[in-house]
Every structure is written in C-alpha cells, then in structure tokens.
Amino acid sequence: MAARFGQICGLTVAGIMAFVYGFLFHQERVMTALRWVTQRLSTNWRAKIETFLEEFAKGFAVARNPAALSQVFLYSILEWALTIVSFYPLYLAYGLNTFSLQSMLILTVMVMVFVTVLPTPGFIGSFNLGVYVALHVIMKEPEAVAANFGLMAWLLNFLVILGSGLYFIFHEHLSVKKLVAVEEEGKEMNL
C-alpha cells in the first residue's frame, strides 16, 4: 500500500511539474487549452476561472527570477526545519518511544498532508489527525498519548502564530479598521 501511495504521489508531483513548466515557458498554449476546457461553463464561472488562472500565472513570475526563487527555497527549508524542531520539546515531554529525526520528519509530513487535504478553520481537526496517524497508526505510540500530543502541539503552534500576528499588527501600526478596509478593497477587486 505504501509503494502504491508513493507511485501516486510521484505521478502527482510529475503532473504538477509539467503544469508549472507549461505555465512558465508555454503560458499562452496552456491558457488556450484551459480556455477550451472552460468554454462549456457559464460566462460567470468562465470569467472567474480565467481571472484565477491569470493571477495564478502572475505568481509564477517569481520562478523566472533566480534570486527570488532561491530566497523562497531557503525560507521554505527554514520553515520546514523550524516545524520539525518545534516537535522536539514535546517528544521529550511525552517520552515517546520513537524519538528520532526521522520520526519528527514523518510527523511533520503527515501533519502537512492532512492540513492540506482536510483544511479546517484553525486546522484544529486536521492537525490533530495528522499527529494521530503519525504517532499512533505509523509509530504505534499509545492512542491517548498521540491525541494529547496533537492537542498540545496544535496549541503551541497556534500561540506562536497568534503572537507573530499580533506583533506584526502592532509593528505595522495596523488597526481593525484598516484591516477591514483592506479586506473590503480586496473583495471589490475580485468582483
């Protein structure tokens, strides 16, 4: 089953890479093909999808800039490393039997997969499910320990994100009124 999952993931990654390559170097052809697919939709849906695809294509501009791309790559590696290391104190606190860098990597990957596949508000359920699957199902830790670990890991991550958000709100001198105005402006642009 794991080999089959790996093959499916490999094909998915290859498909995504082909799509990205097409957007980078043959954008007009890809857009023409996508317009052909969306021509059967209503005018409203077609316009929304085409607007989304045009904005999506603008996002690939960073891939043409090697300096920006390397910066994104380095920040991504730093983010993954910090996420993996953030589980270290919890591993020590819970005295898990499977204490290793590999187990923390598996835990991080499972959390990211479930948060991506099953997005929930605040990631409360999907984060916990990823921890539960990694610790209990894969690493055979006790069910109660896996569930409790998931809640504490989510809480600690949430507190870091909340604190960071508050810091930047105050650092940038933002108010709720300014945030609402920016959100309304964004909604008007999407209409």
pLDDT score for 55: 81
* Sign of the alpha-carbon dihedral angle for 189, 62, 158, 123: positive
Instruction: Point out the domain boundary residue: 12, 36, 64.
Output: 64
**What is the end-to-end Cα distance of the chain in Å, rounded?**
45
- Spans of the chain, pLDDT less than 50: none
Residue 107 and residue 71 share a domain: yes
pTM of the model: 0.64
* Sign of the alpha-carbon dihedral angle for 41, 42, 43, 46: negative
CA distances to 13, 47, 127, 190 from 7, rounded to whole Å, are 10, 35, 25, 38
Q: Which domain holds residue 149?
A: 66-191
pLDDT score for 2: 63
pLDDT score for 115: 92
Distance of CA 163 to the CA centre of its chain: 20
Q: Which token pair is 109?
A: 């990957």
Residue 168 and residue 140 share a domain: yes
Instruction: Point out the domain boundary residue: 19, 39, 64.
Output: 64
Residue 109 and residue 84 share a domain: yes
Residue 191 and residue 113 share a domain: yes
Residue 55 and residue 76 share a domain: no
Instruction: Point out the domain boundary residue: 64, 82, 116.
Output: 64
Q: pLDDT tens, 6-54?
A: 888 889 999 888 888 887 788 888 888 888 888 888 888 888 888 888 7
pLDDT score for 131: 94
> How many structural domains comprise the chain?
2
Instruction: Indicate the average pLDDT of the chain.
Output: 86
pLDDT score for 141: 92
